[in-house]
Amino acid sequence: MTTSLQLNILDSKRKAHFQKLAAFKKNGYLGGGTALALQLGHRISHDLDIFLSKPLSLNIVHQISKIFPLWKTLVNSSDELTFLTKDKVKLSFIFYPFKLQAFLKKDRVLPLPLLSPEGIALTKAYALSRRNSWRDYVDLYFILKNKFTSLSQIIRQSKKIYGESFSEKLFLAQLLYTADIAQGEVKTIRLLTEKTLTPTQVRNFFKTQIDAYLKN
């Protein structure tokens, strides 16, 4: 496959850290908003989220700290290590036990696999029932609008991957629940392919998607 990355969404220090992630390509992949932005170029994303197939052992933590000098640790557990580097880049290494290998994009030009938009949609759908984050709404909006997947596919595949941990009813309700998203959070998202995007616009888009899904 030929991979066209939107590297303009990364500044120079994040590009450098992205390349260093090659050390984790055997057991990890880049997910989250930055992985999506690298593929869609839809917004600026500052954090690097690395999903690992194994829990964070002392050996893995040692390897991470050798490659990325830790300036400030934000989360340190067997499931997650989140920290700021000395140049203030935020990285998260997350143990993700769910099987998403079928949704990985691999290429020799990539330092490590990227989770595809279809796969990111699943992680966002799963996360949405556990947190109410504007960036998750924005990313799902762009994935669906650009037809990388459909609402029915997200629901079907989420049930398969997450089992009883995923609730279709809760997910659909959460898509329409944008009332308590803070305006300050909306302003922190810097869009690249659209001038503005409001919670009302996103809610109306999702309502159209849900109505069509429920009719079928």
Q: How confident is the model at residue 198 (pLDDT cuts 50, 70, 90)?
A: very high
Q: How confident is the model at residue 105 (pLDDT cuts 50, 70, 90)?
A: very high
**3 pLDDT exceeds 60?**
no
Structural domain including 156 reads 116-216
Identify whether residues 111 and 122 lie together within a single domain.
Answer: no
- Please answer whether residues 45 and 33 qualify as being in contact, where contact means their C-beta atoms are separated by less than 8 angstroms: yes
- Please answer whether residues 26 and 68 qualify as being in contact, where contact means their C-beta atoms are separated by less than 8 angstroms: no
**1 pLDDT exceeds 60?**
no
Place of tokens 């050798």: 66
pTM: 0.93
Q: What is the mean pLDDT of residues 94-118?
A: 95
- CATH number at 72 reads 3.30.460.10
Tens digit of each residue's pLDDT (9 = 90 or more) over 137-159: 999 999 999 999 999 999 999 99
Predicted pLDDT of residue 2: 40
Give the chain's domain count: 2
Q: Which two tokens stand for residue 10?
A: 């990364």
Residues in the chain: 216
Q: Which two tokens stand for residue 17?
A: 């850290």
Identify whether residues 25 and 65 lie together within a single domain.
Answer: yes
Identify whether residues 212 and 109 lie together within a single domain.
Answer: no
